[in-house]
Amino acid sequence: MSDSDELKVLNPATEEVVATVPAASEQDVAAAVVRAVRAQTRWAALAPADRARLLRRFADVVDAHLEELAQLEVREAGHTVGNARWEAGNARDLLLYAAGGAERLLGKQIPVPGGWNVTFQEPLGVVGVIAPWNFPMPIAAWGSFPALAAGNAVVLKPAETTPLTALRLAGLALEAGLPEHVLQVLPGHGHTAGRALVDHPDVAKIVFTGSTRTGREVMERCARLVKPVTLELGGKSPNVVFADADLEAALNPFSFLDNSGQDCCARTRILVQESVYDEAREFLADALAVVVVGDPADEKTQMGPLISRQQLDRVRSYVPEGAPALRGSAPDGPGFWFPPTVLTGERPDGEAAREEIFGPVAVLLPFADEADAIRLANDTPYGLSGSLWTRDLGRALRVSQSVRAGNLSVNSHSSVRYWTPFGGYKQSGLGRELGPDALTAFTETKNVFISTEGPAQ
The closest of 24, 19, 21 to 7, measured between CA atoms, is 21
For the chain, the distance separating the N- and C-terminal CA atoms, rounded to the nearest angstrom, is 75
CB 67, CB 168: distance < 8 Å: no
Closer residue to ligand NAD in complex, CB, 273/428:
428
The CB-of-149 to ligand NAD minimum distance in angstroms stands at 20
The CB-of-301 to ligand NAD minimum distance in angstroms stands at 22
Scanning 62-70, 154-162, 289-297, 364-372 for contacts with ligand NAD by CB under 6 A, the matching segment is 154-162
Whole-angstrom distance, CA of residue 27 vs CA of residue 173: 24
Our finding on whether 159 is near ligand NAD (CB under 6 A) is yes
Count of positions on this chain that bind ligand NAD (CB under 6 A): 32
What mask, x for binding ligand NAD by CB under 6 A, covers residues 170 to 209? --------------------xx--xx--x----------x
Annotated catalytic, 232? yes
The CB-of-161 to ligand NAD minimum distance in angstroms stands at 8
Our finding on whether 235 is near ligand NAD (CB under 6 A) is yes
Our finding on whether 133 is near ligand NAD (CB under 6 A) is yes
Beta strands in 254-352, from DSSP E residues, in sequence order: 269-273, 325-327, 341-343
The CB-of-167 to ligand NAD minimum distance in angstroms stands at 14
Residues 6+ apart with CB under 8 A from 27: none
Closer residue to ligand NAD in complex, CB, 155/280:
155
CB 250, CB 238: distance < 8 Å: no
What single DSSP character describes residue 178? P
Scanning 3-11, 15-23, 422-430, 440-448 for contacts with ligand NAD by CB under 6 A, the matching segment is 422-430
Q: Which residue pairs from 246-253 have beta carbons closer than 8 angstroms and sit at least 24 positions apart in sequence?
A: 246/389, 246/391, 246/411, 247/276, 247/279, 247/280, 247/283, 248/283, 249/389, 249/411, 250/387, 250/389, 250/411, 251/280, 251/283, 251/284, 251/287, 252/287, 252/413, 253/284, 253/287, 253/288, 253/291, 253/340
Closer residue to ligand NAD in complex, CB, 131/148:
131
The closest of 211, 210, 238, 213 to 385, measured between CA atoms, is 238
Scanning 6-14, 111-119, 157-165, 317-325 for contacts with ligand NAD by CB under 6 A, the matching segment is 157-165
> Strand, coil or helix: what is 270?
strand
Active-site entry in 264, 346, 356, 433: 264
> Strand, coil or helix: what is 97?
helix
Closer residue to ligand NAD in complex, CB, 93/160:
160
The CB-of-162 to ligand NAD minimum distance in angstroms stands at 8
The CB-of-261 to ligand NAD minimum distance in angstroms stands at 11
Kind plus residue range of the DSSP H or E element containing 399: helix 393-402
Closer residue to ligand NAD in complex, CB, 86/116:
86
Residues 6+ apart with CB under 8 A from 375: none
Annotated catalytic, 265? no
According to CB under 6 A, which one of 77, 130, 156, 342 is a site residue for ligand NAD?
130
Residue type (1 letter), 103: E
Our finding on whether 90 is near ligand NAD (CB under 6 A) is no
Closer residue to ligand NAD in complex, CB, 201/455:
201
Opening angle at CA 386, ends 88 and 314, nearest 5? 75
Our finding on whether 308 is near ligand NAD (CB under 6 A) is no
Our finding on whether 151 is near ligand NAD (CB under 6 A) is no
According to CB under 6 A, which one of 73, 232, 258, 295 is a site residue for ligand NAD?
232
The closest of 9, 32, 28 to 19, measured between CA atoms, is 9
Our finding on whether 233 is near ligand NAD (CB under 6 A) is yes
According to CB under 6 A, which one of 11, 80, 90, 214 is a site residue for ligand NAD?
214
According to CB under 6 A, which one of 62, 81, 124, 264 is a site residue for ligand NAD?
264
Our finding on whether 417 is near ligand NAD (CB under 6 A) is no
The CB-of-372 to ligand NAD minimum distance in angstroms stands at 26
Our finding on whether 440 is near ligand NAD (CB under 6 A) is no
In the sheet that 203-209 helps form, which strands lie side by side, from edge to edge? Answer: 183-185, 153-157, 126-130, 203-209, 229-232, 429-430
Relative to beta strand 115-123, strand 443-451 is antiparallel
Residues 6+ apart with CB under 8 A from 332: none
Whole-angstrom distance, CA of residue 355 vs CA of residue 342: 15
Q: Would you tell me which residues interact with ligand NAD (CB under 6 A)? A: 130-135, 139, 157, 159-160, 190-191, 194-195, 198, 209-211, 214, 217-218, 232-235, 264, 356, 358, 384, 424, 428-429
As annotated, the active-site residues are: 232, 264
